[in-house]
Structure 1
């Protein structure tokens, strides 16, 4: 896909790419990243919220968490969080999108999903691709959860990630380069799979990709 095609990715194109992809769900009994089995994993969901910026370019929403947060302060993140009792993972992703960024859309906006990602801290994250259209530039950030709102373009997404080794694990650590930073798993892994599936039609899996040690807790 050339740069013009990337920048002009449409809702229909994204939906078609996701329809051709078979996502993997972790199930009820999961083996976490350190090899321990949990019969009652903590369920979480994130939204890859895609739309059109005012300049007409297709982009998605990425946030930076406040430094004062107890969990993962100052890190890049997709809108999302724990799935509440009685709601589906998709509903949880949409609720979190509204709570964090003030964007409210219904389940018809969900274009598809990617693979579950099991974290070192025992969460099973279910990623959903959500079309927010012109609302991409209409975010109202919740200061308790969001310090910065970013809108990476599809061209910025379409870069080769880095894979590095660490002595603490035999799995490669993924790093997505963006705006002079390196974004790690789980966010970096989910974004990488989104790029592979949607922009290139490749059924790339990411469950083997490691988180950096600082994100293990």
Structure 2
């Protein structure tokens, strides 16, 4: 970990990255937003805790995002979800680039989209979807993951220490690749990183 990266360098790193796109046939296509915004002197991204009443993955930590609607691409979907979940009125002009697609055990292909929002707007979380919003400074994103082995898979389960707990894949895998690409300019693959068994359905 070093000093905080300048936004211009972060943007250049993401734009230089060539993401891997995976086929979505037979799977559900979703997008998540890694929205870099400035709060005072500090750059950070938003992480949410999903409402405990949601049918899918209640109470889990997640990036703003969701399934693509008909006619949308991943950028459109990520922007729409930023608005629906957090009340952030971003436009396509904020788009920086994409990271590698990640296929989940529950049948989704997730496309992570990086945005540069500028100064953080006031947030208006949708209580039907979002129980809590965390602003994660980039210095906290720049953390080494922990890897576990499980009998159900030959691949390592990734955990990221954030907000006083451990975040799991797919969110942990996406944020870890964001750290590697955006903060350090390293094209580190994450598609092999495993989810915990309780997230497989």
TM-score, normalised relative to structure 1: 0.90
Moved over 3 A (4+): none
By how many angstroms is 1:137 displaced? 4.7
Q: Is residue 163 from structure 1 mapped to residue 159 from structure 2 by the alignment? A: no
Deviates more, 1:19-28 or 1:139-148: 19-28
Aligned to 1:57: 42
1:122 maps to what in 2? 107
Q: Distance in 1 between matches of 2:76 and 2:121?
A: 22
Gaps of 5+ in 1: 29-38
Separation in 2 of the partners of 1:40 and 1:71? 19
* Structure 1 vs Structure 2 CA RMSD: 1.1
Q: Which residue of 2 aligns with 1:80?
A: 65
Q: Give the TM-score normalised by structure 2.
A: 0.97
Residue 201 of structure 2 is aligned to residue 205 of structure 1: no
Find the aligned partners of 1:179 and 1:16 in 2 and give their Cα distance: 28
Q: Is the 8 A contact 2:88 2:121 kept in 1?
A: no
The aligned residue for residue 31 of structure 1 is none
Distance 2:152 2:41 in 1: 44
Q: CA deviation at 1:69?
A: 1.2
Identify unmatched segments of 5+ residues in structure 2.
Answer: none
- Once the two structures are superposed, the pairs formed by residues 52-201 of structure 1 within 5 Å of their partners are 52-53=38-39, 55-134=40-119, 136-201=120-185
Superposition pairs of residues 32-47 of structure 1, within 5 angstroms: 39-47=25-33
Q: 2: distance between equivalents of 1:215 and 1:137?
A: 32
Give, in whole Å, the separation in 2 of the partners of 1:197 and 1:22.
10
